[in-house]
Amino acid sequence: MKKLVSILLTLAVALSLLVVPAVVSAGTTDYTEAVLSAADNLAANQNTDGGFDWGQPDGDPDLPAAGSPTNTLGITAMGILEGYKLEDKVAYETALGNAYNYVVDNLPAYESGVETTKGADSFPDVTFLIGLANTPVLATPSDAADLAKARWDTKVTALGSATLMAESIRDTRHGQNYDSLIPWDLEAAVKAALALDAYFPGDSNDYPQQAKDIAAVIRNSVDDTAGTYFSSTDETQEGYVCGLTGAIEAFVEVGEYSAKTTELKALLLDVQQDDGYWNWYGASPADKAVQDTAYAVMALLRQGDNDAIAAAQKGADWLVLSQYSGGGWYAEGDIAPENLEVDSEAAWAIKVMLDEFGTTVSMTADVPDIVAISVDPTVIDFGTLLPGDTSDEKQVTVENIGTHTVNVSANVDAASSTDLFYSNLQMVLSSTWTTGPNWTNVITGLAMGKSQVTRIQLPVPDDYTPLGVESGTLVFEATAAA
């Protein structure tokens, strides 16, 4: 008798396009849980060397030979720090201590103004370390501040001055055809200098003046008369929103260029989408940019006009509602992949809103539903079976990763499956087996963030004629529940 070899079933996901456009109406929401969930996710995805992956977390504890990238430490750890300020969890303390050790272990080296050995000395690293120094996480909290000061002072000295440092970054971004990121990058430097001043007031390095010098480079790079750098009205620029936000926040932080700030604020409000988010701009704007929205929220809150605050609140509402159940965000709101840096930036923005208005924030607008599920695993191998055999039960977890309660059905795709699957595949939620090919409302009323485990089993009929390798596809479809 012939064997059936390597029987594989692919599990796919389909989402209904006929969803209710908006069911989350004006009300209230607790922002604290959003920040804590994000911090949990970030701490869980920290690498063994104390750093963080660039891009999508892979969950792999093994690191490349070079270790974690040095330019992601501070900006990603900031999300954990904001969570720690809300709740003193052991996991947060451990992660923050590991992040500090990572900075200690990754010392940069400069030669003739060039960083010959890459280390942890980015502007967000400095801001993070000063923030850490204001907590009791370390046995000697001031160690973090001293480290921040040393990294900043070394960098400024190596590059000649705060102005020359800022101009170097400006020229680098210009050479990359990324002029929109000049204000964004340099605002992080302004923030770092002012954080140093807050911890080391009256220091001989005159950090407030350094912040003003950097802001002046930003001002001279925004709508400069020669048209060389960032144009505040050219929406075709990739990263356009980040350019606006960086300039707005930097100018407010140093208390200068108020007229230009108001002008830029109006432009930023003009490109906010109806649902509260901002797009990632380029030749073809992408939908629902979480990172841009996070920075827009922080810049507008800092600017502080009534219309700016209302827009920031609407953006923060959207961030909370687009957070998926694992605690992170998909970079485009409802489209994978996830990015740990973006997760941290979103959490930071929500925490800024939380600090401004308290733990409960009123929703300002209806927010569209996101209908989305995940299925794990995506492939089932039933192994080798003979006619008359029945496979072991295989567990499948269906999780609602959207923002709307859903009903989930499953159907064997007849076009891509053999009759073995179409006629005999069984799936069950209770003690009673249900035979394919269609299972209507396999899961009913699966709430946001919840998951349901199902079991799948394949019996092979006694009279089935073996075909060798068998494969098929089972499609799970999610539709918005009423």
Q: What confidence tens digit (pLDDT) does each residue in 256-302 have?
A: 999 999 999 999 999 999 889 998 886 455 677 899 999 999 999 99
Greatest Cα pair distance, the chain, in angstroms, is: 89
Whether residue 2 is predicted with pLDDT greater than 60 in this model: the reply is no
Q: What is the mean pLDDT of residues 103-116?
A: 92
What is the pLDDT, as a whole number, of residue 392? 86
Whether residue 16 is predicted with pLDDT greater than 80 in this model: the reply is no
Q: What confidence tens digit (pLDDT) does each residue in 188-203 have?
A: 999 999 999 999 999 9
What is the pLDDT, as a whole number, of residue 443? 81
What is the pLDDT, as a whole number, of residue 416? 73
Q: What percent of the chain has pLDDT over 70?
A: 83
What is the pLDDT, as a whole number, of residue 403? 65
Place of tokens 């979103």: 346
Q: What confidence tens digit (pLDDT) does each residue in 396-429 have?
A: 888 877 767 788 888 887 777 777 777 788 887 6
Whether residue 308 is predicted with pLDDT greater than 50 in this model: the reply is yes
Q: What confidence tens digit (pLDDT) does each residue in 45-83 have?
A: 999 999 998 777 665 555 555 678 899 999 999 999 999
What is the pLDDT, as a whole number, of residue 473? 83
What is the pLDDT, as a whole number, of residue 59? 57
Q: What confidence tens digit (pLDDT) does each residue in 348-396 have?
A: 999 999 988 765 544 444 444 577 788 888 888 888 888 888 888 888 8
Whether residue 24 is predicted with pLDDT greater than 70 in this model: the reply is no
Q: What confidence tens digit (pLDDT) does each residue in 345-359 have?
A: 999 999 999 988 765
Q: Please give the residue that has the higher pLDDT: either 197 or 461.
A: 197
What is the pLDDT, as a whole number, of residue 433? 55
Whether this model's pTM surpasses 0.85: no
Q: Mean pLDDT for the chain? A: 84
Q: What confidence tens digit (pLDDT) does each residue in 210-257 have?
A: 999 999 999 999 999 999 999 999 998 889 999 999 999 999 999 999
Report d(CA 243, CA 229) in Å as an integer. Answer: 11
- CATH architecture, domain 5-18+371-480: Sandwich (2.60)
Residue 159 contacts by C-beta under 8 Å, 6 or more apart in sequence?
A: 113, 165, 168
Query: What are the distances in angstroms from CA 272 to CA 71, 277, 313, 358, 440?
Result: 29, 6, 12, 24, 40
| Model confidence band, residue 449 (pLDDT cutoffs 50, 70, 90) | low
